[in-house]
Chain A
Amino acid sequence: MTHMRTQIRAALVARLTGLSTTGTHVYASRLRPLTDSELPALLISSEGEEYDDGAYLKNNRPVIRPLRVRLDIFVKAVSGYEDTADAALADIETALFDTVAHNTLDGLVMSTTLASILDPEMDDSTDKPVVRLPVILRVNYS
């Protein structure tokens, strides 16, 4: 049986593929470096789950499982890189929070919320500046 974490990552890839800024450059659990032709890009990875109340346990499993999912927006450009990252973030917000169906990943999960947006990081050690904008989602599932 495919674990829900795997299903959630797959559903997010499907939901976030084709956005106007990152297009088809959406990768789950990506470890290998991105090339210029794969940018701007959106990387998706699952993080931990923390249960804050044992009373919610049912059959030794929590009823509500809050999964943290990390989205990393990568942009490499001569200029406007942070603006482009913000545009990619706006695309994501629209794609996930515009309707109930999208917010629940077509009924797969209970809800998807924006947990935090971390500090943008910039690096100019390659031939063009690179910015990474990390976005943390909280995905409640059962």
Chain B
Amino acid sequence: MPFDADDLAVFFDPDMPGYVDAVIDGVPVCALDRRKGYAEAFGLVSGSSPALLVKSSEQADRGSFVIIGAEVYTIVNVHSNGPGRVRLILESA
């Protein structure tokens, strides 16, 4: 049975861990928050690796602005993340 819209709806259900209401270029979207991963550059500069999972049908392109709560990000890359989903790689704006 193919992965369809009903499956996606379950995946992005508000009860899912990490569910968050985000806004991409002014348009509200349902998303799964993947911002909290610790990351380092050169082993000497700490930071996070902000990312967001959204439906691939959302208008999410490089350079778009994402607002999550009070934080603003820029989309720097868009990766496929399985059927109907994309992973947005974010950068603090």
Contact = CB atoms under 8 A, between A and B. Distances in A.
Interface of A: 30, 33-36, 39, 43, 72, 74, 76, 78, 121, 123-130, 132
Interface of B: 39-50, 74, 76, 90-93
Which DSSP category, helix, strand, loop or mixed, fits chain B's interface?
Answer: strand
Contacts of B46: 33-36, 126
Given A124-B76, A126-B39, A33 B45 contact: yes
Contacts, number: 62
Contact of A74 (B44, B76, B91): B44
Contacts of B39: 125-127
26 contacts: A33-B43, A33-B44, A35-B46, A43-B44, A72-B44, A76-B45, A76-B47, A78-B91, A78-B92, A123-B41, A123-B42, A125-B39, A126-B40, A126-B46, A126-B48, A126-B49, A127-B49, A127-B91, A127-B92, A128-B47, A128-B91, A129-B91, A130-B45, A130-B47, A132-B42, A132-B44
Contacts of A72: 44
A33 B91 contact: no
A30 B91 contact: no
A119 B45 CA distance: 18
A-B complex: 3 closest residue pairs judged by Cβ atoms: A126-B47, A130-B41, A123-B41
